[in-house]
């Protein structure tokens, strides 16, 4: 597969009255054409800020991209003008946000909100744009699609609003779709439907997907690679099967232990990660997970390990070797 997106040492900070928040601290990864990549971590670890940064959607001030490059289709998005990046957002790169009720305009019809991007990026007329909008609603499973173009967001259920957001994201045939926790506000049944829908559309349309979530259980059947983030750093990255079978970072182990397992044949007690998330106002010098890590050694409290190969196509940032006994308990 050809390389579609390459993020190099991306760093983002926010200036607040309490100090500088180090939200993203030099992350690097690639996404191949047509590939599904999941970015996983607890709230506040930098997942969403990293995605917003590569799309240049960080509000300035208080936010600021302080370092890094984002190469997409041969262009560094960080160096593009505002006009140039607007031509890419919603067209070549699209995003599904977490809460569709906030993302959708309550005073505009669904049809108008979908056709606006089509008219802007694809240069189609109003009639052709409405025809395409109806096709998109039908594609994402909304009944009576043509008639529902006249409805407003409040006339749709939560799951249907998220389907509308997916239709809007796909309206201009993006090469890359970023889904920022699109199932968080939905019940479990609707969550599964949305995951299945995005997975099916990815295969049909041949686009790459970055799926942002706090739940490793969600990505097991839909991602090819998994990036685990903590405190603004990437702490582990591996193919999805390798990550589940051979986790090499204690934080990844902690996430896996907190997932309910139905394949073990017996009830297993979930093990929470002890302690509190790190203070993002501190300049990161030691391993950020060290205060919560049951296996931490002295070096963990002195120096932050770099992301390094620990196996074929597998990287982790840790000073210790995760033992087989630790894995057996995950």
Largest CA distance in the chain: 67
| Mean pLDDT of the residues in the chain | 87
**pLDDT at position 325:** 43
Residue 133 pLDDT greater than 60, yes or no? yes
pLDDT tens profile 16-40 = 999 999 999 999 999 999 999 999 9
pLDDT tens profile 139-152 = 888 899 899 999 99
Distance of CA 199 to the CA centre of its chain: 14
Name the burial class of residue 119, with classes exposed (0-12), middle (13-18) and buried (19+) by CB atoms within 10 angstroms of its CB: middle
What mean pLDDT comes out for the span 176-180?
Answer: 92
Residue 185 pLDDT greater than 70, yes or no? no
Give the separation between CA 73 and CA 57, rounded to whole angstroms. 19
Query: Which has more confidence, 186 or 70?
Result: 70
Give the separation between CA 283 and CA 40, rounded to whole angstroms. 22
State what percent of residues in the chain have pLDDT above 90. 50
Residue 78 pLDDT greater than 70, yes or no? yes
Query: Which has more confidence, 98 or 55?
Result: 55
User: How does DSSP classify residue 120?
Assistant: I
Kindly report the number of other CB atoms within 10 A of residue 288's CB atom.
Answer: 26
Residue 93 pLDDT greater than 90, yes or no? yes
User: How does DSSP classify residue 170?
Assistant: H
Give the separation between CA 78 and CA 85, rounded to whole angstroms. 9
**pLDDT at position 267:** 54
For residue 139, give Cα distances in angstroms to 135, 196, 205.
6, 13, 11
**pLDDT at position 268:** 63
167-176, 291-300, 317-326: the lowest-pLDDT one: 317-326
pLDDT tens profile 238-251 = 999 999 989 999 99
Per-residue pLDDT band for 323 (boundaries 50, 70, 90) equals low
**pLDDT at position 321:** 81
Closest-CA residue to 40 (of 322, 236, 184, 200): 236
Cis omega (within 30 of 0) on the bond before 62?
yes
pLDDT tens profile 263-317 = 555 556 777 788 888 888 887 789 999 999 988 899 999 999 999 999 889 999 9
Give the separation between CA 182 and CA 211, rounded to whole angstroms. 9
**pLDDT at position 243:** 92
63-72, 73-82, 187-196, 288-297: the lowest-pLDDT one: 187-196
State what percent of residues in the chain have pLDDT above 70. 93
- Backbone Cα Rg of the chain: 21
β-partners of residue 16 are 19
**pLDDT at position 282:** 82
**pLDDT at position 324:** 46
How would you write 197-247 as a 3-class SS string?
HHHHHHHHHCCEEEEEECCHHHHCCCCCEEEEEECCEEEEEEEHHHHHHCC
For residue 195, give Cα distances in angstroms to 175, 181, 298.
18, 11, 42
**pLDDT at position 188:** 76
User: pTM of this prediction?
Assistant: 0.89
Q: List, in order, residues 6 or more apart from 246 with CB less than 8 Å away.
A: 238, 311, 314, 327
């Amino acid at each position: 597969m050809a390389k579609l997106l390459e993020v190099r040492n991306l760093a983002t900070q926010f200036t607040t009255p309490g100090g500088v928040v180090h939200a993203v601290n030099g992350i690097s990864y690639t996404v191949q054409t047509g590939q599904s990549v999941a970015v996983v971590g607890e709230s506040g670890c930098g997942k969403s800020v990293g995605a917003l940064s590569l799309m240049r959607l960080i509000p300035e001030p208080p936010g600021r991209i302080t370092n890094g490059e984002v190469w997409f289709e041969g262009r560094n998005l960080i160096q593009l003008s505002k006009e140039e990046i607007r031509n890419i957002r919603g067209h070549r790169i699209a995003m599904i946000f977490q809460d569709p009720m906030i993302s959708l305009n309550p005073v505009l019809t669904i049809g108008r909100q979908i056709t606006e991007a089509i008219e802007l990026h694809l240069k189609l007329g109003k009639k052709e744009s409405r025809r395409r909008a109806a096709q998109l609603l039908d594609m994402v499973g909304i009944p009576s699609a043509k008639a529902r173009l006249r409805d407003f967001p409040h006339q749709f259920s939560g799951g249907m609003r998220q389907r509308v957001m997916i239709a809007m994201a796909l309206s201009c045939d993006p090469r890359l779709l970023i889904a920022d926790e699109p199932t968080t506000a939905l019940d479990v049944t609707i969550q599964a439907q949305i995951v299945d829908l995005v997975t099916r559309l990815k295969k049909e349309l041949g686009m790459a997907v970055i799926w942002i979530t706090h739940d490793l259980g969600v990505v097991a059947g839909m991602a090819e690679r998994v990036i685990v983030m903590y405190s603004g750093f990437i702490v582990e990255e591996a193919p999805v099967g390798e990550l589940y079978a051979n986790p090499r970072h204690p934080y990844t182990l902690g996430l896996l232990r907190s997932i309910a397992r139905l394949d073990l044949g017996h009830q297993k007690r979930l093990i929470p990660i002890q302690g509190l998330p790190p203070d993002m106002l501190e300049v990161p010098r030691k391993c950020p997970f060290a205060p919560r890590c049951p296996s931490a050694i002295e070096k963990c409290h002195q120096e932050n390990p770099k992301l390094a190969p620990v196996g074929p196509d597998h990287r982790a940032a840790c000073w210790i070797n995760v033992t087989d006994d630790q894995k057996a308990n995950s």
